[in-house]
Amino acid sequence: MNIITGTWANKHNVFDNKVDKPNYNYKNIFRLLKEDQKSKTIGIFSTWTDNRVKLIGEKLPAAGQISFDYKFDEYEFDESTYPHDSSEIYIQKIDERVVNETVHCLSKSPPDLSWVYLQYPDSVGHILGDSQGFYNSVEDFDRQIGRIHNSIQHRIANFNENWLLIVTTDHGRDAITGQSHGQQSLRERTTWLFVNSKETNQYFEYYQPSAVDILPTIARFLRIQIPIDSQRELDGVPLIGDVSLIQPEVQLKNQTLILKWKALDNQQGNVSIWLSTTNLFSLGLQDNFIFIRNVSLQNQTAEINVEQYPSTFYKIILQGQFNIVNRFFFVQ
């Protein structure tokens, strides 16, 4: 959910695989594309059907009632074809089916935006932990991604198309055995990310990208016009093209919010500072933002006297020429 909404769990409200009460007000990338460019097609190729049914919320009114034009999933429910076993080899077989469907679809009539989800390395990791079996599953995954990459390269070479390929994982593993995850250790929180673009920016090259950076990257590549209210909620930064500022920080000293950010090299212009004392967006409503002032991007700091805006919560928006960053601040 971090990946497809560009926000962290404190916003989208998905903390585990139960997906009990997702907050669909934080729109996923497929919904943003469909709402902005109705003719574009979307596809999902997944070993876990909950990606489509729960995380995307396909056809749910609260999630925008979007439908996938291409969908290849639900294989885990076909136990006659894929009988379940304790070693979860059936997951490996489903992954291979998903890759076959992906390659076939891409070669014939590909969607404009696709999500491919493969599960076996995670499954075998839970069973075996750090082991040769787990390493073998990663090698299999690499081979599968290679097949997808080759299909994309074929389309680039033969159909005059431009493709963005992003490969990532949604979590790491525990540092002791490698069998579990879900806590806050460095290894569990560390993920990797591959991008095929030659237009990656300073942020991608010299800082530490994360899962939430994927949505704004795809949106920029596909030229999706994201509504300003949703833009202000995004926790990520595009990995391609120009970026003005990153790494916002907020502290409260007496009655003053002290704001800091990192201005990327060679970027000029101003930062527009906006403030709200509500979080109505999470309820599907609009926040009332107050424009504070413009300051030079290169200042990398600003202050807001909030004596006239008494609250236990502040939503701060820093808007540069090329991107927007935000921070929530709760008064202790």
What CATH number is attached to the domain comprising 197? Answer: 3.40.720.10
160: tokens are 């005059």
Q: Is 173 helix (H, G, I), strand (E, B) or coil?
A: coil
Q: What gap in Å lies between CA 267 and CA 282, rounded to an integer?
A: 32
From the CB of residue 283, how many other CB atoms can be counted at a distance below 10 Å?
11
Instruction: Give the per-residue pLDDT at 258.
Output: 98
Please check whether residues 193 and 286 belong to one and the same domain.
no
On whether both 87 and 192 belong to a single domain, the answer is yes
**pLDDT, the chain, mean:** 97
Regarding beta strands 70-72 and 324-330, do their DSSP bridges make them parallel or antiparallel, or are they unpaired?
Answer: unpaired
pLDDT reported for residue 129: 97
Q: What's the CATH code of the domain at 280? A: 2.60.40.10
Rg, C-alpha atoms of the chain? 21
Residues 131 and 260 placed together within one structural domain of the fold: no
CA dist 190 and 120 (Å) reads: 19
Domain boundary among the residues 197, 231, 265 is at 231
Place of tokens 């070693």: 87
Same domain, 282 and 250: yes
Boundary of a domain, candidates 199, 231, 263? 231
Domain extent at residue 296: 245-330
pLDDT for position 212: 98
Looking at residue 116, its pLDDT comes to 98
**Sheet holding 245-253: strands in order across?**
245-253, 256-263, 301-305
pLDDT in tens, the chain (332 residues): 999 999 999 999 999 999 999 999 999 999 999 999 999 999 999 999 999 999 999 999 999 999 999 999 999 999 999 999 999 999 999 999 999 999 999 999 999 999 999 999 999 999 999 999 999 999 999 999 999 999 999 999 999 999 999 999 999 999 999 999 989 899 999 999 999 999 999 999 999 999 999 999 999 999 999 999 999 999 999 999 999 999 999 999 999 999 999 999 888 999 999 999 999 999 999 999 999 999 999 999 999 999 999 999 999 999 999 999 999 999 98
Report the relative pairing of strands 42-46 and 70-72 from DSSP bridges: parallel
* Dist. CA 112–CA 77, nearest whole Å: 28
Strand partners, 294: 272
Q: Identify whether 48 is part of a domain.
A: yes
The strand pairing partners of 104, in sequence order, are: none
Residues 217 and 307 in one domain: no
Q: Is residue 238 part of a domain?
A: no
Integer angstrom CA distances of residue 184 from 171, 177, 188, 190, 326: 10, 15, 6, 10, 23
Residue at 294 is within a domain:
yes
Adjacent-strand bridge partners of 329: 314
